[in-house]
Structure 1
Amino acid sequence: MDFEKTILCIGAGYVGGPTMAMIAAKCPHYKLVVVDVDKEKIRAWNSDNLPIYEPGLDELVRETRNKNLFFSPEIEKGIRESEIIFVSVNTPTKTFGQGAGKAADLQYWEKTAREILASSTTSKIVVEKSTLPVRTASAMERILNENSKNIHFEVVSNPEFLAEGTAIRDLEFPDRVLVGSRETPEGIKARKEIVEIYANWVPREKIVESSVWSSELSKLVANAFLAQRISSINSISALCEKTEADIDEVAYAIGMDSRIGPKFLKASVGFGGSCFKKDILNLVYICESYGLEKVARYWESVVEINEWQESRFIQNMLRNMFNTVAGKRIALFGFAFKANTGDTRESPAIYIAHGLLEEHAKVVITDPKALGNAKKNLSTFEDRVSFEQDPYRAAEGAHAIAVLTEWDLYKGLDYERILKTMVQPAFIFDGRNILDHQKLFNMGYNVIAIGKAPLKHF
C-alpha cells in the first residue's frame, strides 16, 4: 500500500507508543514507525506482552500493528525515510551539575537532535513531544539547521496531555490538542501539517494553535496547576483531621462552585507519576534562572506539601499503632502511582514503603499490575520486603493494611474474611479514601483515613 506520508516517532515509551497507535488507527493513509534504542522494548511492542499497561492499548496495537504501525530498532533508516519526526525521549530531572534536582536533563534530547541531523537527507518537520523547558525549540533549531547539507528543519511543539490509566481515551477524545510553531511562513506551514494529522478525528475547535514558546510553557504550567490543586486539598485534609471536619464533604462543597469545579480535589497520600514533580521543579528552575525567586518559591511549595503529606501518612501510622511498627507485618494495597497503570515512578508508595522499612516493619506489597516495577524500586530491601499478587494472602498475619492505590479491586474485597486473618487490633489506613470507613469500623477495624476523624475502638 502507498501511504500519503511517513511519520516517525523516536521513543517507544508511555507517550510515543500509545500516541502513534492512535494516529495509526485514525489515519490508515499514514505510515507510522516507532523506533527506540532499547531493542527489548521494541521486541515487546511487537509481541503479545506490551511493555506498558494501559486500558485499551492492546486492542489498538493489535488493530494497527504491521498494517500501518511498525515498531523497529532501525533508527537511522526511520529518520531517513520519514517526513515528520515526533521526538518522545526521556527528559528526567538532572542529577548532576548546574540545576541538579530541578532542571531537565536534556542530554538524550540533544543526542536525538544530532542523530536526526546525521541521518537526514531531506528537509523535515521535527515535533517536540517530550516535556521540555520553554525555549528548547530554539536550541534544537540551531543544532539542526546549522548544517552543510542544504536541508531545513522546522521545529514544532506538540506537548502531550495524557493521564496514565486514561491515555487511550485522552488521545481519542482530547480536551485540546496544542500545536505551536514559529510565527513565520515556514513555521505556520509546518504547524498546519501537524494540525491536519489530528484533524482526522479531533474537532477543529479543540485544536489550539500558538507560538512555540507558549506551547512549550503551557505543558509545564498545566501540570503545575493540576498538582497545585492536589497539594491544596491535601493541606486542608490535615486541618480537617484537627477540627473533625470531613475532607470529602469540604471538597464536594467547594467543588460545586463553578469557578472551582470538582476535578483534582480528591485528598490522598499524595501525587506521583513521571510528570508532576519533574515538571514543577523544572518550572521552579526556569523561574530561578530569570530571577523570579518569589514565583519559584511559590511553585516549589507545591512539591514540599506533597512530600509533607507522604511523611504525615507514615507518622499517622506510627502514632496510631502504639508508636512502633518494628517487627509488624504491614500490607500495602497498591504500589502504582495511580489505578489502571503499572507505572510506579514517583509513587507515594515508594516513600511509604521506605519509611516503614526504616522503622523495621515487615512490608508485603500487593498490586494487580505494578509488582514488577515495585521489585525494582525496592531492590535494596529485597530481604526485608515480600510481594504477593493476592491481596488476601498479603493481609494474612498483618497488623495493618495501607491502601495506597485507588484500584477498584480493593473496594470489593471481603474485609470480614480479611479481618479474621489479621493480628488484632487490626488497622486500615486508607490513603485514597475509597473504602466504606463506617462499615469497616463496625466490622472491628480501626480505620484512619485522610482528612477525617479516626474511627478507633480504643
Structure 2
Amino acid sequence: MRCTVFGTGYLGATHAACMAEIGHDVLGVDIDAGKVAKLGAGEVPFYEPGLGEVLRRNVDAGRLRFTTSYDDAADFADIHFLGVGTPQKKGEYGADLRNVDAVVDTLAPRLHRPAVLVGKSTVPVGTAAHLAERIRRDTPQADVEVAWNPEFLREGFAVEDTLRPDRVVLGIDETAGGRAEPLIRELYAPLLAAGVPFLVTDLATAELVKVSANAFLATKVSFINAVAEVCEATGADVVALADALGHDARIGRRFLNAGLGFGGGCLPKDIRAFMARAGELGADHALSFLREVDHINMRRRTKLAELAAQACGGSLLGANVAVLGAAFKPESDDVRDSPALNVAGLTQLNGAVVTVYDPKAMDNSRRLFPTLNYATSTIEACERADVVLVLTEWDEFVQLRPDRLAEVVRQRSIIDGRNCLDRTLWRSHGWTYRGMGRP
C-alpha cells in the first residue's frame, strides 16, 4: 500500500519509517525543508534507539521518501496520516491545534479522488468531528473520510511500540464512506496477523483513549509521589511500599516509581489539555483531580531543590552542584518539560554554580538553558561538587562507582532523584545518600 505521513517529528518520522518497514511505500511530508533533507539522507534529527537503522534501511530500499510538497502527497496516496504536534497553548492549558488545521486546510483542496485522513496526533475530544465538518464546509468538492488512530509510543521504545503495539485503536464515523476500517486493516495486516488486538470505536472514544491513558499514568506517578511525601514525614521507605503494592494484580508495579516525577512532551501537556477540554464541555469537575496530579508532580521538583540546599548547609549560594541527567527520561534526548533541567534551573536561580551532563541531551539542553554550565562527562560535571544530583536514570549513572566519583567531588553527598542507585553501596563508601521518600 501507499500512505503519506504529515509531520516528521518524533511521532511522524517513527510512524513513516515503521510503515515502510512492514512493506508499504511511504511519503513523509513536512514544511521544514532542512528536516526533510536530513530524513531523506537517512539521518534522524533526534535520538530514538533503533530508529536510525529502520529509517536508513527503508530509504535505501526506496520504500520511504520525504518531501515538502503537498501536491506530491495528494497524488501519492489515498490514505494520509496526520502526525503533527499539538503543543500546549502559551498562557493556557488547552492544546494548540494550528498545525493540525494547517495540514487539513492545505491538503484538502488538493485531493481529487476519495481519500482517508487518519489522525495520530493527540487532540482534544471532538477534533476529528470538527475537522470533518471543516472539510465539508470549506472544501465541499473533496471526498475525505476522517478517522482517528491514536499512538501509544514510549520514547526509547518507539520502534517496538509501533511494530509490536499492545493494541490498535481506530475511531471511525459510521455515517461516512466506510473506507477507513478496511484500509487500516489492510495497512496493519502484518500486525493483526501477529495477534495485535484491533479495537474499532467511534471518533470521540478513540480521541479519549489516548488522553485517558496518559491521565491515568500521570495519576499513578503522582499518587506514589504523594505517598513518598508521607514516607518522608514518617521515615517509611516508598520503594519497599511500592514493591508491596505492585504484587497486587489490580495495581501492578509499573509507573509506581517515586522520584522526581514525569515530564516530556506528552503527559504534562496532555493532562492539562484534557482538563481544559473538560471545562469547555461543562465537565470540568470530572477532571478536577488532575490539577492535584499536576501540582504533586511540580512539587517534587521544588522538593529536590530544597534537598540540594540542605545538602549544602542550608543555602545554595556559591555551592557547586553537579546535575547528572537533562533528558526527561533515559534513552531519549527530549528535554521538553524536563524535571531534571527544571531542577538545574531552580538551583542556579538560588545561587548555585550548576554543571550538567547527559549522554544524549546536551545540545537540546544548551538551546533551552544556555546559562547553565555543561560538561563532557560525568567525572567532569562532578569536579569539586558540593552535591551530586542524579536526575535521569541513565544506566551510565546507575553504574557509577562511588569510589571513583569520591576522587573528584568536594563533598561526598548525592541525591538520588530517581531512586535508581544502590543506597547501601553508596553509604558504605562514606557518601551521604538521600533518595526520594526513603530513609
Query: Shorter-chain-normalised TM-score: which range?
Result: over 0.9
Deviation at 1:185? 5.9
Q: Does 1:191 align with 2:178?
A: no
Question: Which residue is equivalent to 1:400?
Answer: 387
Pick one of 9, 12, 19 that aligns with 1:23. 19
Deviation at 1:57? 0.7
Q: Does 1:291 align with 2:243?
A: no
Question: Which residue is equivalent to 2:100?
Answer: 109
Deviation at 1:349? 1.3
How many residue pairs end up in the alignment? 437
**CA distance in 2 between partners of 1:196 and 1:262 (Å):** 36
Question: Which residue is equivalent to 1:142?
Answer: 133
Deviation at 1:226? 0.5
| 2:153 aligned counterpart, secondary structure | coil
Question: Which residue is equivalent to 2:4?
Answer: 8
Pick one of 64, 69, 75 that aligns with 1:69. 64
**CA distance in 2 between partners of 1:205 and 1:370 (Å):** 33
Question: Which residue is equivalent to 1:167?
Answer: 158
Amino acid at match of 1:400: V
Question: Which residue is equivalent to 2:265?
Answer: 274
Amino acid at match of 1:358: L
Question: Which residue is equivalent to 2:378?
Answer: 391
Worse-superposed segment, 442-451 or 62-71 = 62-71
Amino acid at match of 2:66: F
TM-score (norm 1): 0.92
Deviation at 1:156? 0.5
Question: Which residue is equivalent to 1:433?
Answer: 419
| 2:177 aligned counterpart, secondary structure | helix
Gaps of 5+ in 1: 454-458
**CA distance in 2 between partners of 1:348 and 1:150 (Å):** 48
Deviation at 1:241? 1.5
Amino acid at match of 1:433: N
Q: Does 1:223 align with 2:214?
A: yes
- The 3 A distance-change label for structure 1 pair 128 and 148 is closer
Question: Which residue is equivalent to 1:413?
Answer: 400
Amino acid at match of 1:63: R
Deviation at 1:148? 5.8
Deviation at 1:123? 2.0
Matches for 1:6-405 after TM superposition, within 5 Å: 6-27=2-23, 30-47=24-41, 49-66=43-60, 67-95=62-90, 100-146=91-137, 150-184=141-175, 186-187=177-178, 189-202=179-192, 203-204=194-195, 206-379=197-370, 381=371, 385-405=372-392
TM-score (norm 2): 0.96
Deviation at 1:121? 1.9
| 1:332 aligned counterpart, secondary structure | strand
Deviation at 1:233? 0.5
CA displacement 1:206-265 (0-9 Å, x = unmatched): 111111110001111010000100000011111111211111110010010011111101
**CA distance in 2 between partners of 1:389 and 1:178 (Å):** 43
Deviation at 1:117? 1.4
Deviation at 1:358? 0.6
**CA distance in 2 between partners of 1:412 and 1:214 (Å):** 43
**CA distance in 2 between partners of 1:184 and 1:78 (Å):** 26
**Identity rate, percent:** 32
Deviation at 1:111? 1.2
> For the Cα contact (< 8 Å) 1:121–1:149, is it kept in 2?
no
> For the Cα contact (< 8 Å) 1:179–1:195, is it kept in 2?
no
Worse-superposed segment, 116-125 or 297-306 = 116-125
Pick one of 444, 448, 453 that aligns with 2:430. 444
**CA distance in 2 between partners of 1:118 and 1:274 (Å):** 31
**CA distance in 2 between partners of 1:127 and 1:113 (Å):** 11
**CA distance in 1 between partners of 2:323 and 2:86 (Å):** 30
Worse-superposed segment, 226-235 or 48-57 = 48-57
